[in-house]
Homo-oligomer: A and B are copies of this chain.
Amino acid sequence: MRFSSIIDCLEDRTMLNAFELVETEDMISFSAGFPSPESYPLDAIKDSFDKVIEKEGREAMSYCSTSGFRRLREIIVERMERKFGVRYDVSECIITSGSQQGLDMSGRLFVNKGDVVLFESPSYLGAVNALRAYEAELVSVPTDENGIIISELEKAFNKYGDRIRMIYVIPDFQNPTGRSWSDERRQEFMEFMYRYDVPVVEDAAYSELAFDMNCRKPLSRFDKKGQVIYVGTFSKTFCPGLRIAWICARGEIMDKYLLLKNAADLSSSAISQRQMAYYLDHYNLDEHIRGICTLYRHRRDIMIGAIEKYFPENVSFTVPEGGLFVWMTLPEGKDSRELLRRAGERKVAFIPGTSFYPAGEKCNELRLNFSNMSDDETEHGMKILGELTEKYLDNMK
């Protein structure tokens, strides 16, 4: 059978493999960016479903509009104004099936074969996969602890010029590093970007998972030209099972997304959207988020404590102020894929860093998720991983 040319661009199976393991249970997994299932407010979820079925079951089990259930979109834009000080009209917000669909549609909307897409280095591998599928040339721009480095961004624009059709960034508690951009860097970045007619896709998946409960200012708040496409989701703050996420964008951009959404899957689930809207209208999501932030901060501390206890001193690591990930760096010349191979034999998993570089340029790092495992599992898994790391680094001296 003959396939389209994009298939050859999708050779990285890291993400797929992590997802296909979801139903197996005997691993201690620091791999996927999953929230903690113990945190799901199951009673409220059940109540929301039951109420929606009782009150509007016929509509809820039918098709939804392509843009999404209106009440849900109203709540989302109200919430964004209240929490982030960014005002969008309801017509500037559509519902997507997970934020991954928003990333995929962004590639489809802006990228032709051979165009350049800029990423932070490193960046979220799901986005890398989504953009690969559009046969883009993926170019990484170096970052420091305050965000993307503007002088490096300038170099990229000087080098690729008009070929750059999109930039994808995660300013809050970035995936995979856990770092956040400073306010100054956000401002500086947007001022730089005004010079170019290039869309900025802002992935805000972790923006509400600030352990100090102070949400950072999104890039869209600095956006004066309608250049930012804001991609939000309830997968990390509530639960991923409903696949409810959204895109906010200005003017004609949103109209194009709508056409793409209609071609891609007609509409997202009506019942899931109405159920989410009911929950938001009748329960307190902010309180729920405060609860999971407290939990995740605790779990981060357990993981950091275990690293300090069990890992050799020549590894370095981030201590994130929010989000779901710790980013660990082994000494130069080491390969975390070899560590993963050994860890797999002991039923411990993580994601090797190379998957987060579009060109696979670095391999001595690894991403560790701390939200999904219990304290005991984290302690036990990190002990194993620490010993394996010690041995691996020793062997390689």
Contact = CB atoms under 8 A, between A and B. Distances in A.
A53 B61 contact: no
Contacts of A253: 1
Contacts of A258: 16
A266 B109 contact: no
Contacts of A61: 37, 40, 42, 45, 239-242
A30 interface: no
A32 B63 CA distance: 10
B241 A60 contact: yes
A270 B256 contact: no
Given A3-B256, A112-B5, A263-B132, A66 B243 contact: no
Interface in A257-307: 258-260, 262-272
A49 to B, nearest CB: 5
Interface in A188-207: 197, 199
Contact of A165 (B2, B126, B272): B2
Nearest to A21: B65
> How many residues of A sit at the interface, in one of the four size bands?
35 or more
Interface in A366-392: none
A241 B263 contact: no
A243 to B, nearest CB: 5
A3 B97 CA distance: 22
A97 B268 CA distance: 8
A50 interface: yes
Contact of A42 (B23, B57, B265): B57
A158 interface: no
A104 interface: yes
A271 B100 CA distance: 18
B100 A265 contact: yes
Contact of A45 (B53, B266, B270): B53
A57 B40 contact: yes
Interface string A99-125: 011001000111110010000000000
Given A46-B53, A61-B239, A63-B34, A110 B4 contact: yes
A62 interface: yes
B4 A109 contact: yes
Interface in A165-209: 165, 197, 199
B104 A264 contact: yes
22 contacts: A1-B227, A3-B109, A3-B110, A4-B110, A5-B112, A6-B108, A7-B259, A10-B263, A16-B66, A16-B262, A19-B65, A21-B65, A34-B63, A46-B50, A49-B50, A61-B240, A61-B242, A97-B268, A98-B267, A243-B267, A243-B268, A272-B272
